[in-house]
Every structure is written in C-alpha cells, then in structure tokens.
C-alpha cells in the first residue's frame, strides 16, 4: 500500500529536504523484514523511493542511502523495477554520479537477470 501511495502521490517528487526514511530507520526496517520473511517488500520500497527522486541531489543521496548498501540483496524483480524506474526518471540517469552508481546496477542485473543485455538500455552505462 505504501509503494502504491508513493507512486500515485509522489511520482518524481521525493526530495532530501523534506520527510524521508532515515538510513537508521531503513536498517531497522530491513531487520524486521528479515525476521518476517518479507525482505523483498523492503527492497521494492527502497527502489520506489529512489526512482521517484525529485532532482539530482535527491537521487545522489537516495542511491547512497537506500540502494548502494543493499543492492547485493536485490533479486530479479527488484532489479527490473529499478532499471525501469531509472529509465523513467532522468533525475536518476542524467546526474553526475549516475555512471558510477549505475555500474553497480548493471553488475547486479547481470548476476540475477538471465540473459541481461545492457545494450537495450541507453540510459545505463555501457561496457567499454
């Protein structure tokens, strides 16, 4: 329900200056989710927050706080949602840190998505 509300009411409007989930709360939430067996729901929430970043600064901060520390736990569905969301919000892929941050996304996608072809996504960093 929270994810749907974010997508409906806060599309591309999550900023770092207002209310947001603090990194310490994210850790607590992940711990509770792990004990309940619902880690994938928290991953989806974190992805949803990042892909709805309002601007470059917010995207930088949200990636650092909510994606980078946990990307190793993201499964195929999480990565597909993340990649689709990045492509739908230029505040995530046109920012200065996008290439280095999204290289992690490409690496993880290659690990969990069978036959992942980064060349289909012009907004992701391409291998040299």
Residue 85 resides in a domain: yes
Residue 114 resides in a domain: yes
What is the distance in angstroms between the CA of the first residue and the CA of the last residue of the chain?
41
On whether the CB atoms of residues 92 and 110 are closer than 8 A, the answer is no
Into how many domains does the chain fold? Answer: 1
Structural domain boundaries, residue 79: 2-120
The stretches in the chain having pLDDT less than 50 are: none
Residue 126 resides in a domain: no
For the purposes of burial, counting CB atoms within 10 Å of the CB of 103, is it exposed (0-12), middle (13-18) or buried (19 or more)? middle
| Torsion angle defined by CA atoms of residues 85, 91, 92 and 96, in that order, rounded to the nearest 10 degrees | 160
User: For the CA atoms of the chain, what is the radius of gyration?
Assistant: 14
Name the pTM for this structure.
0.83
């Amino acid at each position: 329900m929270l994810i749907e509300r974010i997508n409906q009411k806060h599309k591309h409007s999550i900023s770092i200056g207002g209310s947001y989930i603090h990194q310490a709360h994210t850790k607590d939430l992940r711990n509770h989710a792990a004990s309940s067996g619902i880690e994938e729901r928290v991953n989806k929430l974190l992805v949803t927050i990042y892909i709805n970043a309002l601007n470059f600064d917010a995207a930088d901060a949200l990636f650092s706080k909510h994606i980078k520390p946990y990307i190793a736990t993201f499964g195929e569905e999480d990565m597909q949602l993340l990649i689709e969301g990045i492509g739908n919000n230029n505040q995530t892929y046109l920012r200065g840190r996008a290439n280095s941050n999204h290289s992690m996304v490409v690496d993880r996608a290659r690990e969990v998505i069978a036959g992942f072809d980064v060349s289909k996504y012009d907004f992701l960093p391409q291998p040299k």
